[in-house]
Amino acid sequence: MAGLPGEEAVLIVRENGARAGDTLYLTGTIGERRPDDEAAGALLRGIRQMFAPGALADTAGGILSAAREIAAHTGLGFRIIEETIPVDNTRDGKSRSAGERSHLYSTRGGYLFASARRHVATMTITIDGVRVTPVGELVRTGQTIERNGSAIDAEEYAADTGAP
């Protein structure tokens, strides 16, 4: 299923797409403004050209929601490493402590996507001025968030933190 920038939800899953071991990438930074339709379209084109993603979902409902949607449509699980999620540590011009992370993990219109692991899998890059950060991977089964090296079931994590 494919959607267009500006629609409420975007989910793209290629038939020969996502596999266990693929890297999960997140566009944007927690706390950034939502890109306009033109910028979102350019970002999607850039992602498709650079990564040829096997699966992609909009993060408007939160990163966990996007990861669950990808998992449901690919028949795979995921592992997200909390410490890799980029967070803007300012709000309304005021600094926040590094430990104060948004548990909703909404990048306000960013994308979470899976692409085959390659040498850039550990590097943050930029597409049209938007940060693209590896934040985890697709796995055969299970849905976990890794925090400080400990795996937490995503359902348990969501219940504890109020994440969607």
Output helix, strand, coil percentages for the chain, rounded to the nearest 5. 25, 30, 45
Tell me if 45 is assigned to some domain: yes
What domain range is 117 assigned to? 11-161
The pair of three-digit structure tokens given for residue 15, joined into one six-digit string: 């038939």
Nearest CA-CA partner of 10 in 52, 77, 69: 69
What's the rounded mean pLDDT across residues 125-150?
91
Tell me if 4 is assigned to some domain: no
CB atoms within 10 A of CB 161: 16
φ/ψ bin of 61: left (φ > 0), alpha (ψ from -120 to 50), beta (otherwise): alpha
Tell me if 68 is assigned to some domain: yes
- Distance of alpha carbon 98 from the chain centroid: 20
**Span 89-120, pLDDT tens digits:** 665 444 444 444 444 455 566 899 999 866 55
Which residue did the predictor score with more confidence, 1 or 92? 92
Mean pLDDT across the chain: 79
Specify the CATH number for the domain of residue 16: 3.90.650.10
**Span 32-79, pLDDT tens digits:** 777 788 888 899 999 999 888 999 998 888 889 899 999 998 999 999
Q: Tell me, what's the pLDDT at 128?
A: 85
